[in-house]
Chains A and B, each alone.
Chain A
Amino acid sequence: MRFKYPLPRSSEITPEALFRSRRRFLQGALSLSAGIALAACLPGTQNPAPDDVTSLTPQATGSADERGDALTPFDAVTHYNNYYEFSADKQAVARLARDFQVRPWVVEIGGLVHKPHTIGIEDLLRAFSLEERIYRLRCVEGWSMVIPWLGFPLHRLLERAEPMGSARFVRFVALYDPEQMPGQKNPLFPWPYTEGLRLDEALHDLTILAVGLYGQMLLPQNGAPLRLVVPWKYGFKSIKAIVRIELTEEQPATLWSTVAPQEYGFYANVNPEVPHPRWSQATERRIGENERRPTLPFNGYAEQVASLYQGMDLSVYY
């Protein structure tokens, strides 16, 4: 079961972006001469090497998502962060995370897999070709953004580890380092941050591990060096600064569903029909917009993911 990633409309693709990067320029020039200029812009067809994504100017190949929603400005994406490991104040995270050490960084892949292993972040960047994915991000607080991520589908990493037949869930664990992450000194949260997905959700092509956004490496406040992005779920599912990925048979406990189980479910699919005790899920405020807009089922990815939940009562499995 493979789903196609919804491509941005060709009219939304900014040709200038091609010319900003030398390598992309060369690729683009070749493609242009071959009369297939568009191909260079399609996610998956260009494979920037790791050093290619450290360019200083934020850039994305597209300027809108597949629905035509404009990208949220880079400054907003990098200065409005729900990252409790640093602070509950979203606009304080960027400052507090400035000196966060993202190298060396090792990710452990274990649990119910035939090939458990650890992999350094550099090797990870070499092993998987990066692609740009323009996704909507819907926070459970009722605001949303459109972000051009750089990353690779999680299933590529999981398939390399060869999950056992008994594996049914994937558990993600973030770094625990209170010296670097002052928010972790708050004893009211069961640190470290943990999250989980059902295996079929984790293997879905929309689920990616991101290492960058806007054409450059992730900044610490956005979850550097490695974070999950699951666009049809509320933002808190997309765990940041991952150090361990573990396949399990039992549904793993997650931080927010441990803190407040009646509010934060394991599935946390964006769903305007299921009320949340505090924040509206029927409408949302897109950052940069003045009026609220209706929230879409599965955050607008229903066509790709609704079949995963067939026969499930989503007001029970919220």
Chain B
Amino acid sequence: MLNNNTLIEATDLSRHYEVSNGLFGGKSTVKALSSASFHLQAGSTLAVVGESGCGKSTLARVVTMIEPPTAGQLILDGHRISGDISLTDEQRAELRASVQIVFQDPFGSLNPRQSIGRILEEPVLINRPSVSPTQREQQAREMLAMVGLRPEHYDRYPHMFSGGQRQRIAVARALMLEPRILVLDEPVSALDLSIQSQILNLLVELQERLNLAYLFISHDLSVVRHMADEVMVMYLGRVVESGSAAAVFDSPKHPYTQALLSATPVADPTREQTRIRLQGELPSPLNPPAGCAFNPRCWRAQDRCRVTAPELSDEGTHIVACYFPLHD
């Protein structure tokens, strides 16, 4: 039974891409996302962390229904979405309104030729044609106030705003259709430190006020630690560790999570540096290593790791996909 508050329920969600290897190379499959399972409750934040190519953006695209999953099941706000069942266009549009996304780059995600008012009203114009123009405008003006912008900004254009203000506009646009789930794809990584805290505060405030569920995608672990309730660590398309933020950060069990935590610079010059040196780089998703994807870079890898990939298993406080998890 699903809890009433569960907005996303994903089971073994996968997204594979077919890529051609040139004229005679045939086709091969990129497993951008393989069997990810998680759920997200209203009013809480699930953070997805990992390096580039780990599948976190693919996950965002699947959850926002930009792309259908190739396998597995996704239940969004009580509606089932999977590769085999096709929804009608109407159902799809309705569901899309409940999941909205904020992109990383506030300079590229706003149309420079539209005024802020027009940018904010467009989602309503498309999805709710019955709303009258005056009502739309009123909604947009209320939204401006909600994200901390002034009413006179309604008629201005994106180039007149700084990065932080643009990100506020992007958040406002995402909220226009009153979604219940907001996917935040690196929302603060393009911003300066002093602006970053303003946007994070805004997000926290909006979540409390509107009881939003956040799928927070980031590579900045200090931001994740501040925002997240639950954390999911991904490596090469697979979830390697998942659990409550406190459990994952305080007692990381997967070697990759530990390496990631130790590689993150901490703003404290007096701290002893105990850095785990990871050799090499992320392998290509086209040709992943046999067994556990992390084994070529792992210092604990043994023969078993090079043969079969470990499944996620319960390790007391949270779940980990490793044969030799670390203990404190």
Partners in one complex: no
Name B's A-contacting residues (CB within 8 A).
none
